[in-house]
């Protein structure tokens, strides 16, 4: 088994409204040290595969078909044997 951890975040230059709202909320709560907040989503996917090569192919296809919108998102993946 392999665990693929897929981090999906907004591309540089794409508006991140949730991050902006959280920054504003933190500033209003008194956290004046907060300069910027970005929000990303992480998918921890448990895969019944043997090798990392097979997992990489699968995750790339999953990203394309379901998890990632390439117009606004970029993503990176970490693999861990479990």
Binding site for a second copy (CB under 8 A): 1, 7, 9, 19, 22, 25-26, 29, 31, 33-49, 58, 61-62, 65-67
What are the backbone dihedrals phi and psi of residue 7, each rounded to the nearest 5 degrees, phi first? -95, 120
> Nearer Cβ to a second copy, position 39 or 70?
39
CA 62, 67, 69, 74 torsion-angle sign: negative
- Nearest distance from residue 71's CB to a second copy, in Å? 20
Whole-number Å distance between alpha carbons of 60 and 37: 27
Nearer to a second copy, 1 or 14 (CB): 1
Nearest approach, Cβ of residue 66 and a second copy (Å): 6
Separation between Cα atoms, residue 44 and residue 82, nearest integer Å: 12
């Amino acid at each position: 088994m392999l665990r693929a951890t897929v981090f999906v975040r907004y591309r540089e230059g794409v508006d991140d409204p949730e991050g902006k709202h959280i920054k504003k909320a933190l500033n209003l709560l008194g956290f004046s040290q907060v300069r910027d907040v970005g929000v990303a989503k992480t998918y921890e996917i448990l895969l019944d595969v043997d090798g990392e090569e097979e997992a990489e192919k699968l995750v790339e296809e999953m990203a394309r078909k379901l998890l990632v919108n390439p117009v606004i998102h970029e993503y990176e993946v970490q693999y861990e044997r479990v």
